[in-house]
Amino acid sequence: MDQITDAVLAAAGSPWVYPVLFLLTVLDAFFVVLPSETVVVALGALALSGHGPNLFVLIAVAAVAAVIGDSLTFALGRRVGLTRFRWMRRPQAVRAFAWARRSLDRRAAVVLLTARFVPFGRIAVNLTAGATGFDYRRFLGLTAIAGLCWAAYNAVIGAVFGAWFGGNPVLAVAVSIVVAVGLGILVDRVSARIARVRAKTPAGESLPDSG
């Protein structure tokens, strides 16, 4: 998906970058291969280097799009359930849905807030919340907080390196993306390990591996 990222960055100084980012982030709620995180980080780097969009508008657009995408995924889960499509019946997907169902029952707020940062985990949690009748008003409130945190986190990481390497926007984008991906992997691994420990039952059951 490098072509998508490159196309968005090429339009970084244009007003069109906002609707493009909005659409990309909404679609990323369903298609994890779309690089919304990478694009937000990269645009954040360009924002403070003087070659990109306004940082605060960037965060606002990304956050609203994230909430809408998650809400649409919730609605899809409520409408079609968790077995309609073939990919939903694959072992990894079944385990992810089972984990999401248990987690929503035990600690919904924590799961909804952290799942926003884990692409497939996000889809599993949002679909399961819709399919199991989770209260949408509560879902919307938690998703709004998660979407804002996600947008600010990615944009600010980019902005920090954009400020440091203001004279070299290409380097700022490259370094910020590497750092953001590295932190994302670290957070994913740590949260998965903590979740597996907390989710163990007397029978020894634990969370399925996210990888």
Residues whose CB is less than 8 angstroms from the CB of residue 22 and which lie 6 or more positions away in sequence, other chains included: 61, 62, 64, 65
Tokens read off for 108? 């919904």
Query: What is this structure's pTM?
Result: 0.73
To the nearest whole number, what is the mean pLDDT of the chain? 75
Confidence of residue 211 (pLDDT cuts 50, 70, 90): very low
Cβ atoms of 171 and 164 within 8 Å: the answer is no
> Residue 188: which of 123, 116, 87 has the closest Cα?
116
Confidence of residue 68 (pLDDT cuts 50, 70, 90): very high
Q: Which range, of 13-27, 84-98, 117-131, averages the lowest pLDDT?
A: 84-98
